[in-house]
Copies of this chain bind each other. A is one copy, B any other.
Amino acid sequence: VKMFDRRTGLEMLDRDTCLELLAAEQVGRLAIGGSGAPVLMPVNYALDGETVVFRTDPGTKLERAGRWGRAAFEIDSFDREARTGWSVVVTGRLEEVTRHDAATLQRVTRLPLFPWAPGEKHHWLRLVPTQITGRRVGGPAR
Contacts and interface: CB of A to CB of B under 8 A. Distances in A.
Given A33-B33, A33-B36, A33-B38, A27 B85 contact: yes
B138 A116 contact: yes
A92 B27 CA distance: 24
Contact of A40 (B57, B72, B83, B118): B72
Given A7-B60, A41-B74, A116 B36 contact: no
Nearest to A89: B40
Interface residues of A, number: 45
A32 B70 CA distance: 13
A99 interface: no
Interface string A85-127: 1010101100000000000000000000000111100000000
A76 B33 contact: no
A142 B57 CA distance: 18
